[in-house]
Amino acid sequence: MKTDNDILEAVYQIILDRKNHSSEQSYVASLYAKGLDKILGKIGEEATEVAVAGKGGDPEQVVCEAADLIFHLLVLLGHYELPPERVYAELRRRFGTSGLVEKANRKE
Per-residue pLDDT tens over the stretch 18-32: 999 988 899 999 999
CA atoms within a 13 Å half-sphere pointing along the CA-CB vector of 52: 9
Residue 46 located in a structural domain? yes
Provide the pLDDT for residue 108.
57
Question: pLDDT tens across 85-100, in order?
Answer: 999 999 999 998 877 7
The CATH number for 66's domain is 1.10.287.1080
Provide the pLDDT for residue 54.
98
**pLDDT higher than threshold 80 for residue 102:** no
Nearest alpha-carbon partner for 77 in 3, 11, 2, 5? 11
Q: What 3-state class would DSSP assign to 26?
A: coil
Residue 105 located in a structural domain? no
pLDDT band at 101 (very low <50, low <70, confident <90, very high): confident
Provide the pLDDT for residue 104.
76
- Residue 55: give the domain boundaries: 4-96
Provide the pLDDT for residue 4.
65
Number of domains present in the structure of the chain:
1
